[in-house]
Amino acid sequence: MKPQRFSPAGVALILGLAFLYLPLAVVIGYSFNASKLVTVWTGFSTRWYGELLADSQLMAAARNSLVVALVSATLAVVLGTAAGIVFARFGKFRGRTALAGMIAAPLVLPDVIAGISLLLLFVAAEQTFAWMPGRGLFTVIIAHAGFTMAYVAVIVQARLKGMEREIEEAAADLGARPGAVFLHITLPMLKPALIAGWLLAFVLSLDDLVIASFVAGPQSTTLPMVVFSSIRLGVSPKINALATLIIVGTLVLLAAAAWIGRGALKMKTPRL
């Protein structure tokens, strides 16, 4: 059959892809603009990449953001997995509803509320225990892990619910103690969920402006905070260059995740 060149579905697909990717393409294109004005194209240049690397404030913020995202995503995977297992495997227990509500709260709570409540908590903690004076990266990490673990918990819980309970029971029946069952059976089968959860947590943390603005200390400005404040002074094409680097980095990360997870994704639930 001859493929239809202008099928309605094909047109819809192209429009959809354009809607999603055109803004990214524009940013990447303008990052090579020679002009100082963000929206006026004058010629090809890589000068903004050079200026970006020379901008110590932006580079420090980028480093802060990466540290926060890496640590908080890892923390979120550990905590979120624990929460997901509790919800999927522990059945009914006292306080389950309260815990479920608290785990799910960050999914629906406005960032402004989360940010201000965390700020009040950290200030109160500082006044009471002289803990974390002035706040810093660590407070941002705690805040980010706290809200991204909710997403990890949801993903892990869904994966566990789709997993046959009998597989873990079979491992126990074959002589594996609970610790060995978790390490050799549950965890490897959760691998795709853990990778997906970590990536989601990483991206959410990297992206967060509101909560970080509340809880970050003076020396721990994150990238979104710098970018956002610089907009008020007029956007520099450096930001375009930075955005391009982040897009490329994200693509590399996603490709790596797909490559690592290729075995795990092929894993099907056994047919009956």
Partner 1 sequence: MTSVIRIAAVSKRFGPSTAVDDVTLDIRENEFLALLGASGCGKTTLLRLIAGLEQPDSGAIFIGGDNMTGTPPYARPVNMMFQSYALFPHMTVADNVAFGLKQDGISGAALTARVKEALEGVELETLGTRKPDQLSGGQRQRVALARCLAKRPKVLLLDEPMAALDKHLRERTQLELMALRARLGITFVVVTHDQSEAMAMADRVAVMEEGRILQVAPPRELYERPANARVARFFGDINLWDAAAAPRRPHPAGIVAIRPERIHMSRTPGSDTVCEGTVADVAYLGTASTCFVTTTTGLTVRVLVRSDEGAPPFTPGERVYLTWPASAMMALDP
Q: Which residues bind partner 1 (CB under 8 A)?
A: 164, 166-167, 169-177, 180, 184-185, 188-189, 191, 263-264, 266-272
Single out the residue of 53, 27, 49, 52 nearest to residue 38, CA to CA. 27
**Shortest distance in whole angstroms from residue 267 CB to partner 1:** 5
**Shortest distance in whole angstroms from residue 155 CB to partner 1:** 18
Q: Is 152 exposed, middle or buried (0-12, 13-18, 19+ CB in 10 A)?
A: buried
Q: Which two tokens stand for residue 232?
A: 């008020």
**Shortest distance in whole angstroms from residue 164 CB to partner 1:** 6
| 63 or 169: CB nearest partner 1 | 169
| 19 or 90: CB nearest partner 1 | 90
Cβ contact 158:241 at 8 Å: no
| 54 or 187: CB nearest partner 1 | 187
| 112 or 180: CB nearest partner 1 | 180
- Dist CA 210 CA 213 (whole Å): 5
C-alpha 264, offset from chain centre = 20
Cβ contact 204:192 at 8 Å: no
- Dist CA 141 CA 134 (whole Å): 15
| 92 or 232: CB nearest partner 1 | 92
Cβ contact 81:156 at 8 Å: yes
Amino acid in the structure at residue 45: S
In Å, how far are 20, 81, 127 from 36, measured between CA atoms? 27, 47, 46
**Shortest distance in whole angstroms from residue 166 CB to partner 1:** 4
**Shortest distance in whole angstroms from residue 39 CB to partner 1:** 51
| 2 or 266: CB nearest partner 1 | 266
Q: Which two tokens stand for residue 125?
A: 């903690």
**Shortest distance in whole angstroms from residue 154 CB to partner 1:** 22
